[in-house]
Amino acid sequence: MTKREEYGGKEIKMPACGLYGKSKKPRGKIECCGNWVCGNENEYVLFSYSRNICSRNHRRFTLCGFHNTEGHMGDWKICKNAVKVLIMN
C-alpha cells in the first residue's frame, strides 16, 4: 500500500528532515520528540563511523534522543540527569 492509498488518495507532502532539511530520502517520525528525520538505521555499516543517517545521529547525539534511549523518566527538556551524563562524556 502506497502513502497515497493510505490517506484516501490524497497527495501527502512529507516534512523535510528536522536535522539537515533534506527531502529526497524517506523520512520517519522519531519517537522521543516527534521530529521527522531521514535515513534508516539498518543502512548503517558497522565501524564505518558514517554520520549520514539522521535517525541514528538524532538518537546518539541529541539530548532528547539520549534521554529516550537511556529510558529516563519525564520530559527530556528538564532532565538534569541526562544533561549531567552527556556533559561528563
- Backbone phi and psi for residue 36, each to the nearest 5 degrees, phi listed first: -95, 125
Residues 52-61: contacts with CB within 8 Å, 24+ apart?
54/17, 54/18, 54/19, 54/20, 54/22, 55/28, 55/30, 57/19, 58/18, 58/19, 58/30, 59/30, 59/32
Residue 21 pLDDT: 84
Q: What's the pLDDT band for 5 if we cut at 50, 70, 90? A: very low
Q: Whole-model pTM?
A: 0.69
Closest CA to 29 of 72, 58, 61: 58
- The larger pLDDT score, comparing residue 63 to residue 87, is at 63
pLDDT digits (tens, 9 = 90+) for 9-66: 666 677 888 888 888 888 888 888 888 988 878 888 888 888 788 888 888 888 888 8
Residue 4 pLDDT: 47
